[in-house]
Structures are given as structure tokens and as C-alpha cells.
Chain A
């Protein structure tokens, strides 16, 4: 088997202007209620961005729009300068290099931890390849590495449904790592994690930035502080504030709607 066969054709993503994701004027309404209201967000290539906001601010909806799960009523979403995501299906978007961790950890409950990673692995994902090929030695090594990173080596052959909540979160992050996307959208990664696990997650996400672009949605303020990066605050489907954590924290508007509560 030639390695070219299992290789995936890399789509070129044009990030000439330094931006990898352009969310422009996006409006999403559910029965008249605007979950996103003329939202504009730009993510730089290689950036680690935090998005915060009170419940119902539209954070998850924004991820739904970027990953093709929800179609916006208005506005455009571009990946690089050349891919209009609003025209594409979920799997095409995933193929382009956008990976997503759901708010509620979503792993394949009846598959083992290893199989979960195998399914997510960045490789040719058409029917025929899945029927005839399995992971190559090199890919297995990479999988073992990721198992190490997410601390699930001993649970490798355990059904994922039996993992603790925190472990499932890690497994889902691991699935993103083997999927090796350009842009990772991570919805509430530390919910249900202990303090130590949270710290480890922060380290992991920081290490990803640079090579990947990472967008993290979180409620947990300590977590956001320890990442201490650029923060965007959403409120009622719009950007309320944007900037360094210290500045955002002291912004009276933000204090009013979010931090003060």
C-alpha cells in the first residue's frame, strides 16, 4: 500500500492576511429570537482565543454556525479567505480542518478509548478506505502519543462509556488532536474536571496554539485567567467587549452583565 493512498489531500487555506476565521454579520434566529445578532468575530492564524459570556449568549450557536450544524440567516463565515463555510456540509468543514469539542462531551460510548481515537484519526475517510485499511504503524504511534498526552494509556481498551466525565472531556480533546485540525473549537473543556485536571488542560491548550488556532469557550473564570490571552465577551448574540483579560475584567459593561452576577 502506498502511503500516498492513505494521505489526505490537504486543502489550501489562504491565511495571507493573518486571519483564519472570519465571522461577519452573522445572524441566527430561532422562532424570531436572535441567538446571534450581527456577530463579527475574527480569529488570527495560530491564536488562542477565549470566548466568554453569560448563559444563552450565543457561544455554542456560534460554533454551530462555523461547523455547519446551523445555517445563519444572514452573514458570512469564511475559513481563510477562500472557503465559505456557510455553503458546506459538516463533514466537508471537518475535512477542511476544523475540529470541534462539544459542550456536552460526545464520545463514542460503545467503542474503546483506542477505537475512539482511531475513528477520529486524520486519514482518508471514504467508505472504501474504511473497509479495507486500518491504522498504519506510524499512525498507531501517533495515537499512542496522544493517549499519553491525555493520560488514558491504561484505559485504552476500556469502553468510553465507562470513563468519568473529566476523562471523557480529555478523550474528546484527544480525538481532536489526532484529527489534527487547523482550527479547534472547544466548548467548555474543563466542566467536571478537578483543579489539577483543569491546569493540565490549560497547559495542553497553550501548547496547541501556534501550530493550530484554538477557540475556547468557557464559564470558568480561573481557567480563562490562567490562559490569560485575548478574550471576547459575547452577550445577547453580540460582541460586548474584546481585548486583554485585565481590560475586559474591568470593563463596566462586562461587569454588569457577566462578572458582577
Chain B
């Protein structure tokens, strides 16, 4: 197993990957904790939180890349899986508030406000962290599995599939907007106090969440790398390029699509669960159709069918978004649209293509003839 994992990268590749991991979980925390605030190299707390958020997005980008970049199935509904994971975590965080809410009740504030007398059954168990983790790991995947089973079995493909995923996220958003659904309506879940007893307002808790996110992102990356480097990964790209050939070669493509679709949803759910305690809120706007579209844009900009590209895209687009929301919020969507168009027209392999174009491996593949 270890040997197989070590073969996922060349030595150079591993050095690069592990350096990035080191920067994320050692260098940045050290610069935050040990350097005095006035130092030029000090990394302020808000930057750590911001990076934590980006890392969640990067995990989403990995998930979207698996299903779209590698398998050629464009999903415009990954916001749903992200939100399921996020809401599950949010429910745990709500329950952890205890009686410290505005109404000093054992029930979450919004339920008191709605005059509910007791906890709905689907909130049971969320005061238990292990149960919550289990839900986070299983529910997004299960939901995806059922949805995917019907869609793929009916051989819904391409733009039709993309449209029904949009419809799915839109429908769920409307459902969650309703107060009666029991997830806090349009305000969602917020005002969290603590996680596992640690105050969410403490910088050290935030740092802890950030480090956990970085570590899980690294593990997800290794997992995805393992998948795409295996023969299964080659089957996935083959499905993308010539599905009927794959079927006539004896593969049940339904199973392959379901596998990668479910895996992708699971990763997305984990990302959502990591995101919520760091930003302090989850509400139905995460399921806006445009949110899921943005996720696909990260991957398109970074470079499809490249895990590094997914990272790059999530980083670049969200970095730009953070800058725009401060400097020129009205122009953000114009910028995003233009970026998307320019990249699709001039860099079909995404931004990562600019780097890999010059890599030796790519060259031999193109020339030796």
C-alpha cells in the first residue's frame, strides 16, 4: 500500500507536494503564532481563516474535477453535497450552543421563535459529534448515489445532466428556505459558540480547524491521485472520451460513473462540514444555482483533468473574489465571466496548462512518432 502511494508521484512531484503541505501546516501556523504582530512576515488571524476557507474550496474543486474533468460529467449541483455536509456540521454546532442562545432554551433559537415545543426527529443525534461525523461521511454520498443511480441508469448525459443537477440544487434551496423545513429558513444556522468544547472565537480553535482542513485536503488529494492514477482512472477518462467503446470493451459504465459521482459528493460534503465552523454560518444561499456553477468555473479556469489545476483554479478565482468584494464588488461577476471566457478560448487546458506545456513528460507524448 505504502509503495503504491509512493509511486503516485515522481520524486520531484512528491517534494513539491510535501513542500506545499509543509507550508500549509507548519510554516503558516508558525508565522502566525511565533512572530510578533508588527513583523512584516506575521500572518494575521484573518488570513489564516481566509486560507482555511480556500482550502475547503480546493477540496470542492478536487471533487468537481473528478466527475467533470476526468469523467466528463458536468455537475452544476455540487453545492447540494457541500450544503448537506455543511448543514450536518451546523446542526451539531447548534446543539452545542446548549442553553446559551438568546432565548436560553434547550432548543435552537429559531425553533423557539417558531414556537416549536420539541426537537424534530431529524435533529436527534446531532448533539453527538461521532454521529454527526457519520452523517457527514454518509449522507452526501448516499444522496448522490440515489440521484446518480436514476440519472445514469436512464443514460442522461451532457447538458441534460447538468440541467437536472441545477434543478436539484434549486429545488433543495427552496426547500431549505422554508421555515417549516426545520433548518432555520433563510437565516440558516449561525451564532455557533463552540466545537467539541473549544470556543469558536478563540484564534487557537480557528488555527486548529485550519490545520485539520489542510491535512484532510492533503489526504483527499492523495486519494484522488490514487484514483486517477489507477486503471479505474483510465477507465473514467475513457468514458469521457468514448463511452460506447468502454461498454463494448466489457465495462459496466454505470458502476464506474456511480462510484466516482458518489466519491465526489462525499469529498464535497466533507469540505462543506469543514467550511461551516470556519465561516460561522450555513444558509440556503450555498445552494444557489450560481454557487454550483462557480465551482465548475474554478475547475475550468484551473484546468480540467488535472488535480493541480483544480487547486490552482480554486485559489485564483477565490483570491480574485476576495479582492473584488473589497475593492470593486460590482465588477466581480463581469470579471468572473471574462476570466472564464478568456481561459476557455485561449487556454483550453486551463491555467495549469501554461505550466505543464513545458514539462518534459508532456513533450514526449506529443512528439515521439
Check A109 against B250 for contact (C-beta < 8 Å): no
Which residue of B247, B255, B368 contacts A90 across the interface (Cβ within 8 Å)? B247
Assess A131 versus B237: contact at CB under 8 Å? Given A90-B244, A91-B252, A91-B253.
Answer: no
Chain B nearest Cβ from A14, distance in angstroms? 20
Tell whether B355 is near chain A: CB-to-CB under 8 Å: no
Check A108 against B245 for contact (C-beta < 8 Å): yes
**Residues in A whose Cβ lies below 8 Å from that of B253:** 91
Chain A nearest Cβ from B340, distance in angstroms? 23
Number of A-B contacts (CB under 8 A): 88
Contact with B along A103-139 (1 / 0, CB 8 A): 0001111111001001110100111001111100000
Assess A115 versus B234: contact at CB under 8 Å? Given A158-B369, A162-B366.
Answer: yes
**Residues in B whose Cβ lies below 8 Å from that of A115:** 234
Tell whether A232 is near chain B: CB-to-CB under 8 Å: no
A120 to B255, CA, bound (A): 17
Check A130 against B232 for contact (C-beta < 8 Å): yes
Tell whether B227 is near chain A: CB-to-CB under 8 Å: yes
Check B366 against A179 for contact (C-beta < 8 Å): no
Chain A nearest Cβ from B230, distance in angstroms? 5
Chain B nearest Cβ from A137, distance in angstroms? 16
Tell whether A23 is near chain B: CB-to-CB under 8 Å: no
Binds B, one of A74-82, A93-101, A218-226: A93-101
Please give me the residue from chain A that is nearest to B252 by CB atom. Answer: A91
Which residue of A69, A119, A132, A157 contacts B246 across the interface (Cβ within 8 Å)? A119
Assess A99 versus B364: contact at CB under 8 Å? Given A110-B237, A119-B231.
Answer: no
A128 to B28, CA, bound (A): 38
**Residues in B whose Cβ lies below 8 Å from that of A28:** none
Which residue of A102, A111, A125, A162 contacts B251 across the interface (Cβ within 8 Å)? A125
Assess A130 versus B235: contact at CB under 8 Å? Given A106-B244, A107-B245, A108-B241.
Answer: yes
Tell whether A175 is near chain B: CB-to-CB under 8 Å: yes
Tell whether A182 is near chain B: CB-to-CB under 8 Å: no
**Residues in A whose Cβ lies below 8 Å from that of B247:** 89-91, 94
Tell whether B249 is near chain A: CB-to-CB under 8 Å: yes
Chain A nearest Cβ from B297, distance in angstroms? 23
**Residues in B whose Cβ lies below 8 Å from that of A126:** 252, 255
**Residues in A whose Cβ lies below 8 Å from that of B248:** 67, 90-91, 94, 99-100
Check B244 against A91 for contact (C-beta < 8 Å): no
Check A157 against B368 for contact (C-beta < 8 Å): yes
Tell whether A155 is near chain B: CB-to-CB under 8 Å: yes
Tell whether A159 is near chain B: CB-to-CB under 8 Å: yes
Please give me the residue from chain A that is nearest to B239 by CB atom. Answer: A108
Which residue of A89, A108, A127, A133 contacts B256 across the interface (Cβ within 8 Å)? A127
Tell whether B259 is near chain A: CB-to-CB under 8 Å: yes
**Residues in B whose Cβ lies below 8 Å from that of A179:** 249-250
Chain A nearest Cβ from B350, distance in angstroms? 15
**Residues in B whose Cβ lies below 8 Å from that of A110:** 237, 241
**Residues in B whose Cβ lies below 8 Å from that of A102:** 245
Check B365 against A119 for contact (C-beta < 8 Å): no
Please give me the residue from chain B that is nearest to A133 by CB atom. Answer: B231
Check A157 against B252 for contact (C-beta < 8 Å): no
Which residue of A69, A99, A125 contacts B244 across the interface (Cβ within 8 Å)? A69
**Residues in B whose Cβ lies below 8 Å from that of A69:** 244
Assess A118 versus B244: contact at CB under 8 Å? Given A91-B250, A155-B369.
Answer: no
A228 to B247, CA, bound (A): 32
Assess A118 versus B231: contact at CB under 8 Å? Given A108-B237, A157-B365, A162-B366.
Answer: yes
A139-192 interface with B by 8 A CB criterion: 155, 157-159, 162, 175, 179
Interface size class of B (residues with CB under 8 A): 20 to 34
**Residues in A whose Cβ lies below 8 Å from that of B255:** 126-127
Tell whether B238 is near chain A: CB-to-CB under 8 Å: yes
Chain A nearest Cβ from B251, distance in angstroms? 5
A201 to B249, CA, bound (A): 21
Chain B nearest Cβ from A245, distance in angstroms? 29
Chain A nearest Cβ from B369, distance in angstroms? 6
Please give me the residue from chain B that is nearest to A98 by CB atom. Answer: B248
Assess A119 versus B244: contact at CB under 8 Å? Given A94-B250, A131-B230, A157-B365.
Answer: no
A19 to B369, CA, bound (A): 44
A89 to B255, CA, bound (A): 13
Check A130 against B245 for contact (C-beta < 8 Å): no
Tell whether B11 is near chain A: CB-to-CB under 8 Å: no
Tell whether B196 is near chain A: CB-to-CB under 8 Å: no
**Residues in A whose Cβ lies below 8 Å from that of B252:** 89, 91, 125-126
Check A95 against B250 for contact (C-beta < 8 Å): yes
Please give me the residue from chain A that is nearest to B257 by CB atom. Answer: A127
Please give me the residue from chain B that is nearest to A95 by CB atom. Answer: B250
Known: A91-B253, A130-B231, A158-B368. 20 other contacts (CB 8 A): A91-B247, A95-B250, A106-B242, A106-B244, A107-B245, A108-B237, A111-B237, A111-B241, A119-B234, A119-B238, A119-B246, A127-B256, A130-B230, A131-B230, A155-B369, A157-B364, A158-B369, A162-B369, A179-B249, A179-B250
Q: Report A's interface with B, CB cutoff 8 A.
A: 67, 69, 89-91, 94-95, 99-100, 102, 106-112, 115, 118-120, 122, 125-127, 130-134, 155, 157-159, 162, 175, 179
Q: Report B's interface with A, CB cutoff 8 A.
A: 227, 230-232, 234-235, 237-238, 241-242, 244-253, 255-256, 259, 364-366, 368-369
Complex A-B, nearest 7 residue pairs according to Cβ-Cβ distance, in ascending order: A94-B250, A130-B232, A90-B247, A131-B232, A130-B231, A108-B238, A91-B252
Task: Provide 28 A-B residue pairs closer than 8 Å at the C-beta atoms, listed in order of the A residue.
Answer: A67-B248, A69-B244, A90-B248, A91-B247, A91-B248, A91-B252, A91-B253, A94-B247, A94-B250, A99-B248, A106-B242, A108-B238, A109-B241, A111-B234, A111-B237, A111-B238, A111-B241, A119-B231, A122-B250, A130-B232, A130-B235, A131-B230, A133-B231, A134-B231, A158-B365, A158-B369, A159-B365, A162-B369
